[in-house]
Amino acid sequence: MPVSILAAVRSPFAEADGVLAGWHPVDLSVEIADAAITRAGVTAASLDHVWVGCDEPVGAQGANLTRAIVLAAGWPVALGGTVVEAGPHSGVAALGAAVDAIDAGRVERAIVLGVSSASIVQPGAAALARLYGRPWGDGPAARFADDGGLVPPVVAADRHAAALGIDRFAQDEWGRRALGRRTPPPAGAILAVGARPGDAVAVQRDTPVTTDVMRSIAHDLEPIFDTNGTTTALTFAPAADGVVALVLGRAGEALGEVEMTTSLAGSPLDVVSVRPDRAVDRLDLAAISASTALAALALNEFDPALVDIDGSTTAVGDAAAAEDLRPLVDGLHRSPPSTTGFGARVGAGAAAGYVWRRL
């Protein structure tokens, strides 16, 4: 049974250490979540649960991020919540958990957030904080030692792309396509927020940020991870900041519907992809690099004409769990009624996605 989307809104996205760098993730989440509740025409007291997808729930995003958001927002103290950390597809996993709970009848109305404050909590922070022991132990590395050992996901994607015959020329073309196609977010998708820039950006505090901050990249670049690799700054999505909020329910005046969610795991040395279970009008991939996206296309034989119609992750940066849900927010506000879309996080070792429909 489809689950109604009562409101969908997000912050602007910006590369880490940019115009959103000074926002605490709790504060930015409250801004976006309150706006979503208002747009849904409901109250925080009518919510049954809060789900927050977060790839790095440590430091400023740790210590039960969901609870911090509820308390900081002034919502009822009895409102409970759950932080979902599922690696690169934490945003999709949070959405899936909420949809399942509503579909099962356990929850009537919920809010789902995807949160990324890469300026404060760098990617990999959970694995790098070793005060209490090494993450994963020895088992995973030992399991893949004979296959060359575990490598960062983007390097795994680079190598998998090479195995599939996807060369640097194809990746550079995809990077240029991403930059050329990424259009300003549609009206209604973005909540303008005041700039709170980091040291790397000279912008006056509280200057309104009304749209995503596009990257400006030279095209003649050297590989950035593997000297024999094909990923460059043009084809890699750096860490970014952003928050997405969705109000979901079983009833109410809906903007759209979530019709299905799916996930799949595989070898951490290979790109994994998922497919929609029906025909769709557009496909949007959250992917950390062009090699990842192109490998997913090769695996599933997606129609490239339907993929990332309005540009991709690499044009702005990867806002982690928030980027997972960006295609849903932008697609709903950009598309005419009856449009069906598929948003997916694809990557080395795991993938997850969802089908949405604009009402």
**Alpha helix positions (H), 192-319:** 290-300
pLDDT greater at residue 312 or residue 90: 90
Expressed in angstroms, the distance from the first to the final Cα of the chain is: 15
Confidence of residue 189 (pLDDT cuts 50, 70, 90): very high
Q: What phi and psi values does residue 112 have, to the nearest 5 degrees?
A: -120, 130
Segment 129-149 shows an average pLDDT of 88
Distances (CA, A) of 137 to 116, 127, 188: 26, 11, 46
Measured N-to-C along each axis, helices 153-163 and 290-300 cross at an angle, to the nearest 10 degrees, of: 50
Q: What is the pLDDT of residues 111-127, one digit of tens each?
A: 999 999 999 999 988 88
- The residues, ordered by sequence, that sit 6+ positions from 335 with a Cβ below 8 Å of its Cβ are 281, 282, 341, 358
* Percent of the chain scoring above 70 in pLDDT: 99
Q: What is the pLDDT of residues 54-67, one digit of tens each?
A: 999 999 999 999 99
Write out the DSSP string of 10-46.
E---EETTSTTTTS-HHHHHHHHHHHHHHHHT--GGG
Q: What is the pLDDT of residues 140-171, one digit of tens each?
A: 999 999 998 999 899 999 999 999 999 999 99
Confidence of residue 136 (pLDDT cuts 50, 70, 90): confident
Segment 2-22 shows an average pLDDT of 97
Residue 229 · residue 2 · CB < 8 Å: no
Task: Say what the pLDDT of residue 273 is.
Answer: 95
Task: Say what the pLDDT of residue 140 is.
Answer: 92
**Amino acid (one-letter) located at 233:** A
Q: What is the pLDDT of residues 274-309, one digit of tens each?
A: 999 999 999 999 999 999 999 999 999 889 899 999
For residues 257 and 5, what is the distance between their CA atoms, to the nearest angstrom?
5
Task: Say what the pLDDT of residue 251 is.
Answer: 76
Segment 200-207 shows an average pLDDT of 88
Which CATH number applies to 3-123+150-358? 3.40.47.10
For residues 347 and 285, what is the distance between their CA atoms, to the nearest angstrom?
10
* 257, pLDDT greater than 70: yes
| pTM to 2 decimal places | 0.96
Q: What is the pLDDT of residues 320-359, one digit of tens each?
A: 999 999 999 999 999 999 999 999 999 999 999 999 999 9
For residues 42 and 23, what is the distance between their CA atoms, to the nearest angstrom?
26
Query: What mean pLDDT value characterizes the chain?
Result: 94
**Positive or negative: CA dihedral 149, 268, 272, 222:** negative
Task: Say what the pLDDT of residue 219 is.
Answer: 66
